[in-house]
Amino acid sequence: SQQGEEDPQALSIQEGENATMNCSYKTSINNLQWYRQNSGRGLVHLILIRSNEREKHSGRLRVTLDTSKKSSSLLITASRAADTASYFCAGETSGSRLTFGEGTQLTVNP
Amino acid sequence: GAVVSQHPSRVICKSGTSVKIECRSLDFQATTMFWYRQFPKQSLMLMATSNEGSKATYEQGVEKDKFLINHASLTLSTLTVTSAHPEDSSFYICSARGSGGAYNEQFFGPGTRLTVL
Going by pLDDT thresholds of 50, 70 and 90, the confidence category of residue B94 is very high
For range A53-76, the mean pLDDT: 96
Q: Is the pLDDT of residue A110 over 70?
A: yes
Q: Is the pLDDT of residue B102 over 60?
A: no
DSSP B45-86: EEEEEEETTS--EEPTT--TTTEEEEEEETTEEEEEE-S--G
Hey, what amino acid is at A43? L
Q: Nearest-CA residue of chain B relative to A87? A: B43
Q: Report chain B residues touching chain A, CB-CB < 8 A.
A: 1, 6, 32, 34, 42-46, 49, 91, 93, 95, 97, 105-111, 113
Q: What is the pLDDT of residue A2?
A: 40
User: What is chain A's length?
Assistant: 110
Q: Is the pLDDT of residue A1 over 60?
A: no
**What span, in angstroms and rounded, lies between the C-alpha atoms of B34 and B41?**
21
